[in-house]
Structure 1
Amino acid sequence: MTAAPLASEFDTRTNATYEALMWALSRPGLIRTLPLAGLAQIIDTLIDRECAVYCEDAALTAQAMQTGAVLAPPEQADHLFLTALEHADFLTRLPQGSDLHPEAGATLVCTARLGRGPRLRLTGPGCEGAVEVRIDGLPDGIWQTRAQVLRYPLGFELFLVDANRVLGLPRSTKVEVL
């Protein structure tokens, strides 16, 4: 009789991280718990040698390189990892996909402070009516810039990470500052 191999600790962690990320995108505004704190586990989970990655942090860059990923400027990256998003106009540099390939839009992962800061109302698919959240640690004007840049189905996905908590904002979610 052949026994199924047991999942390694790494496999278990990356599977749990992936599940948290997908739930975060499918239910915008609902904070999910990650197995560990920080952005590194998300690199382990999402990045492989078929990805073009932009990281502004040296340690995250080294980790992404271990996966075999290609480093790319923001305009050409599939996935971007920022420990701090300093300027709202950075969003204008992200790949948005095309009419034929909207899935080619980027995924931006950055840190923020969840549960503090300005009140926001989220609406769109996955939000029952509207969801209110508080997000701080992002540049002034980010939500206005995001609204100007996104042209659904074109756009990008956004994951906001605060220690071991993550909030997902798909391109289909509208954000209103209250």
Structure 2
Amino acid sequence: MRTAPTPSREETRANATFEALIWSMSRPGRLRDLPERGEAQIIEALIDRECHVFCADPLLMPKVLETGARIAALAGADHVFLGMLTDLDGLKSLSTGSDLYPDGGASVVIRARLGEGSRLRLTGPGIETEECIHIGGVPEGFWSLRRDLIQYPMGFDVFFIDGARVLGLPRSTKVEML
């Protein structure tokens, strides 16, 4: 008789985190709960030794190193962990892919205050008509710079993290400040 292996606590958490991240990208503007607070679980769920990672938070670096991922400069990173974003200059260096390989655009994780701050209207794939949300904790000019940097299908995807909540914003989503 064959039995299925029992997943460990870490595997179960990583699977739940991955599901929350994918769900948040497929339904932009809708909050999703993560199993725990913070970015460490995202690193565990998304990063492996084939990834190129930029991490601005020195406290997260040991978790990134555990994965065996390659540490990269911002421009060469597949996954970017910016912590609480304070400077917009780095965003100009993000990988946005190319005409031939638009999937080469970075996935960016930023800490924010979800439900506070600027009121935004989201439209695009995964949104029936529109979603109106509030995101605080990003520097002034973030939304206009994002608009300028994304030339769909090229661009970058963003996960906004607030404790144990995540909001996904794919490059295909149009953001309008209200």
Scaled to the shorter chain, the TM-score interval is over 0.9
Q: Any idea what SS the aligned residue of 2:18 has?
A: helix
Counterpart of 2:30 in structure 1 is: 30
Within-5 A mapping of 1:1-178: 1-178=1-178
Residues in 2 aligned to 1:81 and 1:49: alpha-carbon distance in whole angstroms: 16
- Contact in 2 for aligned 1:78/1:107 (Cα 8 Å): yes
Q: Aligned AA for 1:52?
A: H
Q: Any idea what SS the aligned residue of 2:84 has?
A: coil
- Contact in 2 for aligned 1:117/1:134 (Cα 8 Å): yes
Residues in 1 aligned to 2:91 and 2:171: alpha-carbon distance in whole angstroms: 12
Question: Paired residues, what number?
Answer: 178
Deviation at 1:62, TM superposition (A): 1.2
| Gaps in structure 2 of 5+ consecutive residues | none
CA RMSD of aligned residues (A): 0.7
Q: Aligned AA for 2:4?
A: A
Residues in 2 aligned to 1:165 and 1:4: alpha-carbon distance in whole angstroms: 31
Cα shift readout 1:62-110 (whole Å, capped 9, x = no counterpart): 1111110010110000000121111223221100001111111000001
Residues in 2 aligned to 1:87 and 1:64: alpha-carbon distance in whole angstroms: 22
Give the TM-score normalised by structure 1: 0.98
- Contact in 2 for aligned 1:89/1:145 (Cα 8 Å): no
Residues in 1 aligned to 2:90 and 2:169: alpha-carbon distance in whole angstroms: 17
Deviation at 1:59, TM superposition (A): 2.1
Give the TM-score normalised by structure 2: 0.98
| Gaps in structure 1 of 5+ consecutive residues | none
- Contact in 2 for aligned 1:54/1:61 (Cα 8 Å): no
